[in-house]
């Protein structure tokens, strides 16, 4: 097999920023090519190229030029932003996936990673410990695109032998990168506002429990899944993955441990309906059994680590 050379498409987003760093630590900076439609905001420690995720020729040229063997396709519109422009969300989320699946089918890639989400589930899904295989009737365009994409991943795997792997991410929380247009973003914004102003107004109501995960766990899971022997990867749609669940009231209590007097208020907006349609907790036993997934962070450990890193970054 050729030497591993990775291309991350959508490298400047919330996951991309941290995944590129994780991949470069694991495989060497020169073996990981970052790419995005926009100039990177953070200093690059390895190669970066600009490309539109819907430009097949552009992506093909990068694969040829850099000898790419694996693609992590992260470019997408997330749940809240996608609702503002459903047609564009569908186009971006689906066309980009078809391009990499087709390139893999043509033998130009050994392996593909494509992120799915808890958004594949909807109001008819069991809300607690949502199983790997269950009712999935999403009500958002983002969820519809993720569910359809999972189906295509499984189809390309079964029909053409494409080695494509996917995780249904819960809400992701990290300090290195900003979230971009999701329903779970409040759980990152709260830290920035608490540190800067001692107060935060949540766009989700106090009792809105959602599954969440700390970014270091999500990055480790992503690379571990991609490094797992192919015969261990039994799910070719998307793996359920759980970290911990909480609601805005519970995270506010944790934040107040670090910022005494912190004030939380609530002004639910259109994102509330999206959150209400999603599960509250996830059964990830398939990921644990198939490729040894295990989270390391719980709510308090995540909050402690966020504060340790963000306070000096924001306050100087
Ligand atoms: C979003 O809120 O849209 C994302 C997700 C759960 O996929 N964070």
pLDDT digits (tens, 9 = 90+) for 120-175: 999 999 999 999 999 999 999 999 999 999 999 999 999 999 999 999 999 999 99
- List pLDDT tens digits, range 22-50: 999 999 999 999 999 998 888 899 999 99
C-alpha span between 53 and 105 (Å, rounded): 18
pTM as predicted: 0.97
Run of H or E including 45: none
pLDDT at 187: 98
- List pLDDT tens digits, range 175-217: 999 998 999 999 999 999 999 999 999 999 999 999 999 999 9
Q: Is 93 in the pocket of ligand 1 (CB under 6 A)?
A: no
Which one is predicted more confidently, 1 or 78?
Answer: 78
pLDDT at 41: 82
Question: 112 pLDDT exceeds 60?
Answer: yes
Segments of the chain assigned to CATH 3.90.25: 172-212+243-286+297-315
From 72, 142, 156, 186, active-site residue: 142
**Superfamily of the domain at 6-171+215-240:** NAD(P)-binding Rossmann-like Domain (3.40.50.720)
Q: Is 156 assigned a catalytic role?
A: no
Residue closest to 313 by CA, chosen among 175, 198, 184, 194: 175
- List pLDDT tens digits, range 68-111: 999 999 999 999 999 999 999 999 999 999 999 999 999 999 99
Provide DSSP, 67-94: T--EEEE-----HHHHHH-HHHHHHHHH
Q: Is 116 in the pocket of ligand 1 (CB under 6 A)?
A: no
- Where helices occur in the chain by DSSP H, the ranges are 14-27, 56-66, 79-84, 86-105, 141-160, 186-197, 215-227, 248-258, 271-277, 285-291, 299-315
User: How far is the centre of ligand 1, averaged over its atoms, from the C-alpha of 168 (Å)?
Assistant: 10
pLDDT at 180: 87
Question: 1 pLDDT exceeds 70?
Answer: no
pLDDT at 250: 98
pLDDT at 2: 53
- Quote the tokens at residue 25: 């630590």
- Overall average pLDDT of the 236-251 stretch: 98
Q: For residue 140, what is the DSSP state?
A: S
Pick the CATH number of 172-212+243-286+297-315 from 3.60.21, 1.10.3470, 3.90.25, 3.40.50: 3.90.25
* Residue at token pair 């905001």: 41
CA distances to 210, 238, 240, 245, 262 from 253, rounded to whole Å, are 16, 33, 28, 14, 9
User: How far is the centre of ligand 1, averaged over its atoms, from the C-alpha of 274 (Å)?
Assistant: 10
């Amino acid at each position: 097999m050729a030497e591993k050379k990775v291309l991350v498409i959508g490298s400047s987003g919330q996951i991309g920023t941290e995944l590129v760093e994780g991949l470069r630590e694991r495989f060497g900076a020169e073996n990981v090519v970052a790419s995005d439609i926009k100039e990177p905001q953070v200093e690059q420690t390895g190669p970066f190229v600009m490309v539109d995720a819907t430009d097949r020729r552009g992506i093909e040229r990068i694969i040829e030029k850099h000898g790419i063997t694996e693609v992590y396709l992260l470019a997408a519109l997330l749940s809240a932003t996608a609702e503002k422009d459903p047609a564009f969300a569908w186009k971006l989320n689906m066309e980009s996936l078809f391009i990499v699946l087709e390139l893999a089918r043509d033998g130009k890639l050994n392996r593909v990673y494509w992120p799915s989400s808890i958004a594949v589930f909807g109001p008819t899904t069991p809300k607690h410990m949502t199983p790997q295989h269950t009712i999935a009737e999403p009500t958002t365009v983002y969820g519809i695109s993720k569910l359809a994409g999972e189906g295509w991943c499984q189809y390309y795997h079964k029909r053409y032998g494409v080695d494509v792997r996917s995780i249904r991410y819960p809400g992701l929380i990290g300090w290195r990168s900003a979230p971009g247009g999701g329903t779970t973003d409040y759980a990152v914004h709260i830290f920035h506002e608490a540190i800067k102003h001692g107060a935060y107004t949540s766009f989700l109501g106090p009792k809105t429990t959602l599954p969440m995960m700390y970014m270091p766990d999500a990055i480790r899971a992503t690379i571990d899944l991609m490094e797992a022997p192919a015969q261990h990867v039994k799910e070719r749609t998307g793996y359920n993955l759980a970290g911990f669940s909480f609601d805005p009231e519970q995270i506010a209590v944790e934040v107040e441990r670090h910022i005494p007097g912190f004030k939380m208020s609530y002004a639910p907006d259109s994102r509330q309906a999206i959150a209400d349609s999603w599960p509250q907790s996830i059964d990830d036993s398939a990921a644990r059994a198939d490729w040894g997934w295990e989270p390391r962070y719980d709510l308090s450990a995540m909050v402690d680590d966020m504060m340790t890193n963000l306070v000096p970054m924001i306050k100087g």
